[in-house]
Amino acid sequence: MKKDINIKEVARKCGVSIATVSRVFNNSGPVKESTRKKIEKIIEETGYRPNVLARELAEKKTHLVGMIVHSMIGEGLPRTINGVNDVLQQHDFNLLISCSNGSFESEMKHFEIFRSKRVEGILFATREFKKEHSKIIKKLPIPVVVLLQKTSQEKIPYVAFDNYRFAKEATKRLFELGHSKFAFIGGPVNATNAIERQQGFVHALLESGLEVEEALIKNGDYTIEDGYWKMESLLSEKKELTAVVAVNDGMAIGAINCLQDHGVNVPDEISVLGLDDTVLAKALRLKLSGVHYSYTDLGKVGAEILLKQIESNELKFEKHLIPYTIHLRESVARVKPSDGRMIGNIFSPQ
């Protein structure tokens, strides 16, 4: 393996001091044209590249941002990373990534590791934001922005989707279409985003004067398979039902498959809405209704907030909510108020 050439070597070859070489490379001072030319030639020949480590040590800046994510499965986090990546590159920052695969220990460990690597800021995406996270973040002398979680009580900057709000709003849209018999297929009980959506759903019912039946709320694990089984379980409750709200696309698809296997027409007998809008939904024949939001934008905003704090050199609490749009498509139908029967499916374009 070739050895790296350093500034001293270049200086020696040119018969000048390292200071002059540094000035040439960084254009950081006056150099006579002839010596500049000579040095540039040697730099070209030797392929000299300054050791950024040494530079960073001297400058006390690493131009490094760390990002801790809990998963690489599904399109959400990868797209978020992509957004982060874009903004960081525009600002000549580099991205250090750690995927914890849901391990709390791994998350905590990487705050330490990233810190000792002297990253200038950290982006943090976890499934469940805990007190310990908050504690370690507050000890850090660098800015941290939490992604996809609200941390309002803790005064830690975050960028998130307004899960509670869009879940409530989307459910109310179904109510306005005449639905009054709702079921909910939720996510893991420790996934904050899933819980917020569930609360949004529940509050939509309450605010609409409907009762919330515990038996008609099932918690799943986000997968298509589990959506199927949870729908199966809902059907076995033998309750009247005109609408199923699922916490994500996968479970909505599983639910639809299950309903169809039971000879239930979607949406004429039961409407299905997913609180999500991923590429999965596109695979369905039936156009799935859902809520759309951009993970890429979320990543971009997160990175921008972080960079702002890095550059201004101050930690500041701020929060951003990324916009969403609700799309009712073929999987949702209107209910005729008088007798509870459907009167054909409605769907907005797009």
Partner DNA sequence: TTGTATGCGTTATCAA
Partner DNA sequence: TTGATAACGCATACAA
Q: Which residues bind its own copies (CB under 8 A)?
A: 1-4, 47, 49-54, 56-57, 62, 72-73, 75, 77-79, 81-82, 85-86, 89, 94-99, 101, 106, 112-113, 115-118, 139, 141-142, 224-225, 250, 253, 257, 260, 279-280, 282-285, 313-315
Does residue 181 sit in helix, strand or coil? Answer: coil
Least distance (Å) from DNA to the CB of residue 324?
45
Nearer to DNA by C-beta: 118 or 292? 118
Least distance (Å) from DNA to the CB of residue 141?
12
In the block, which residue shows the tokens 């044209």?
33
Residue 257 found at the interface with DNA (CB under 7 A): no
Least distance (Å) from DNA to the CB of residue 46?
11
Residue 50 found at the interface with DNA (CB under 7 A): yes
Residue 84 tokens, joined: 């982060």
CB-based contact 68:122 (threshold 8 Å): yes
Nearer to its own copies by C-beta: 167 or 253? 253
What pairing do the DSSP bridges indicate for beta strands 64-69 and 94-99? parallel
CB-based contact 175:166 (threshold 8 Å): no
334: phi then psi, degrees, rounded to nearest 5: -85, 145
Cα separation, 51 vs 273, whole angstroms: 54
Nearer to its own copies by C-beta: 176 or 261? 261
Rg of the chain (C-alpha set): 27
Residue 61 found at the interface with DNA (CB under 7 A): no
Least distance (Å) from its own copies to the CB of residue 348?
19
Residue 323 found at the interface with DNA (CB under 7 A): no
CB-based contact 270:256 (threshold 8 Å): no
Residue 294 tokens, joined: 């951009």
Residue 90 found at the interface with DNA (CB under 7 A): no
Nearer to DNA by C-beta: 15 or 337? 15
Sole window of 13-21, 137-145, 209-217, 236-244 interacting with DNA (rule: CB under 7 A): 13-21
Cα separation, 78 vs 255, whole angstroms: 26
> Could you tell which of DNA, its own copies, none binds residue 132, using a CB distance below 5 to 8 A set by kind?
none
In the block, which residue shows the tokens 């750690």?
98
Instruction: Report how far Cα 34 is from the mean position of its chain's Cα atoms.
Output: 53
Least distance (Å) from DNA to the CB of residue 189?
42
What pairing do the DSSP bridges indicate for beta strands 342-345 and 333-335? antiparallel
> Could you tell which of DNA, its own copies, none binds residue 46, using a CB distance below 5 to 8 A set by kind?
none
Residue 37 found at the interface with DNA (CB under 7 A): no
CB-based contact 290:123 (threshold 8 Å): no
CA angle 111, 113, 114 (to 5 degrees): 65
Nearer to DNA by C-beta: 57 or 215? 57
Residue 300 found at the interface with DNA (CB under 7 A): no
Least distance (Å) from its own copies to the CB of residue 75?
8
Count, residues near DNA per rule CB under 7 A: 34
Residue 42 found at the interface with DNA (CB under 7 A): no
Among 1, 27, 32, 141, binds DNA (CB under 7 A): 32
Short-list 180, 169, 172, CA closest to 210: 180
In the block, which residue shows the tokens 């907030």?
305
> Could you tell which of DNA, its own copies, none binds residue 19, using a CB distance below 5 to 8 A set by kind?
DNA
Residue 41 found at the interface with DNA (CB under 7 A): no
Least distance (Å) from DNA to the CB of residue 245?
53
Q: Other C-beta atoms within 10 Å of 105: how many?
A: 8
Short-list 291, 181, 179, CA closest to 246: 291
Does residue 16 sit in helix, strand or coil? Answer: coil
- Residues of this chain that interact with DNA (CB under 7 A) are 4, 6-8, 15-20, 22-23, 25-26, 28-36, 48-51, 53-55, 57-60
